[in-house]
Amino acid sequence: MSADRENHEMTPTDIAVLLADTADRVEIGTAPVQAVLRGGRRRRARRWAVTAATALVLAGSTGALAVTGLPGGGHTDRGSDVAKRPASAAARHVYFPQETEIARGTYQGKRWSATVEVWGAPRDEYEADRQFDAMAALGIEPAGAHKSADLIGKISYFAMRGWGEWDRPRQVMFNSVEKFERFRGTDMEAGATRLGTGAESSGRLVIGMVAKTARQVTCHWKDGTTAVAEPAEGFSAQDTGSAIRTADGFEGANWFTCVAPEGTSYASAEVTK
């Protein structure tokens, strides 16, 4: 771009020749940018425009390789920065839980269901406030949380029972913990609730947790009969409501349900396999 040009004007033919001449002089290597710039200083002024353009192209195409050859250059692993970026509150299910249906059926002509909800742990007061409000909007109350700050750093889970279209799901088992307890062997926790709102359905639905290695749970009813829950996936027309299932986001244990026949209710439960 200096003022000592030999020609006042260049024709298209001159430009084509210059481009070809420059291409012949390009040095191939790990980082050719410096070599191109040094060569440009020895060329006459009329070639500066082409050389500068070539250097820019080379710098753009060599990418990380060109950077390693420049003074003060270094290697930056952008992928690692992305991997270390913390997950958003939405991705951690802080404001809306992971929900898994673990049982379903019909009682008095209305559909009943049992679900497990797992809410991610809030990291600060802002996330805790929003989670507390979201839970309140659904009519659920986390265990031991008298204020939103009590939820910071804690995972909250709820086993819910719903019946009918207009009946709001009710909490059956729930807790807020810093980490999940790992169930082993015959460890279990269970609670009994009703299928619907009528007193005749009281104690007929059992919901509980067992070790992930458990292959069978036997529920005993007050009339002396039993129901067996075993691992299941999906639902079918022959589903009895008694099964062992995995709940999304719930670590350390699986969930089981048992349904008592009409006229009796829960007495006890045990892991039998």
The per-residue pLDDT for range 213-245, each reduced to its tens digit, is 999 999 999 999 999 999 998 888 788 899 999
Beta strand 205-210 pairing with 188-193: antiparallel
Q: Can you give the pLDDT at residue 198?
A: 76
Model confidence at 166, in pLDDT bands (50, 70, 90)? low
At residue 104, what is the residue type?
R
Looking at per-residue confidence, does 118 or 51 come out higher? 118
pLDDT greater than 80 at residue 11: no
CB 204 within 8 A of CB 161: no
What percentage of the chain has pLDDT greater than the value 70?
68
Average pLDDT, the chain: 78
What is the pLDDT confidence band of residue 200, given thresholds at 50, 70 and 90? Answer: confident
Strand partners, 171: 160
CA distance 119 to 31: 51
Query: How would residue 38 be classed by pLDDT, with cut points 50, 70 and 90?
Result: very low
Q: Is the pLDDT of residue 29 over 90?
A: no
Instruction: Find the Cα–Cα–Cα–Cα dihedral 189, 194, 195, 199, rounded to 10°.
Output: 160
Alpha helices in the chain (DSSP H): 12-25, 33-42, 48-62, 64-69, 78-84, 125-137
Tell me the CA distances in angstroms from 76 to 8, 34, 72, 85, one per residue in order.
Answer: 46, 21, 13, 15
Six token digits for residue 120: 């991610």
